[in-house]
Amino acid sequence: MSRSDILKWLDVPPAWLMLFLVLARIQAVRLPVAPLDHPLIGFLAGLLVGGGVLLTLVAVIQMRQNHTTFVPHRHARQLVTNGVFARSRNPIYLGDAMVLTGLIVYWNAWPSLVLVPLFLWVITDRFVLQEEAWLAEDFGPGFEDWSARVRRWL
């Protein structure tokens, strides 16, 4: 396995999510802030994490049902525009961002909320822009119509 193969294997959204989760957890443990003592904090964190996991699972199932890949760095065989993809062009990455946000809230790592837009920027730069270019190339007007109707995130 070459060095570029190893780097490509490491350059996947779950690895980026883990990196950002580790950074948030380090902040929560090493530089704690006063927790917000409100019963809805745990509920909100649970909704975000659970909703993010559910959104990701639904999107992966939809992609598999449409016989296309959900693996980054691969061209899609089918353009999926229904279900959760009718609301977000990137529901899996959105689910990742929800999990990150939910765990930050759960850990009371409020300063780490700045990591969420940074995470979305990294994911957009490393994956979304290339994937959208491939979709435009492979599916032409179908992708153009879908991207005009459906926002990238929400």
- The per-residue pLDDT for range 49-65, each reduced to its tens digit, is 999 999 999 999 999 99
In a domain, 26, yes or no: no
Whether residue 32 lies inside any domain: the answer is: no
Percent of the chain at pLDDT exceeding 70: 94
Give per-residue pLDDT as tens, 87-118: 999 999 999 999 999 999 999 999 999 999 99
Using CA atoms, how far apart are residues 29 and 66, in angstroms rounded to an integer? 43
12 lies in some domain: no
Instruction: Look up the domain containing 131 and give its range.
Output: 38-149
Q: Higher confidence at residue 10 or residue 28?
A: 28
Residue 64 domain-assigned (yes or no): yes
Tally of domains in the chain: 1
Q: Which residue has the tokens 């929560």?
A: 28
CA 54 from centre of chain: 12
Q: Does 22 fall in a domain?
A: no
**90 part of a folded domain:** yes
Assigned domain for 9 exists: no
Q: Work out the pLDDT band at 86, boundaries 50, 70, 90.
A: very high
CA 104, CA 120: separation in Å to the nearest integer? 15
DSSP 8-state class, residue 78:
S
* Full-model pTM: 0.94
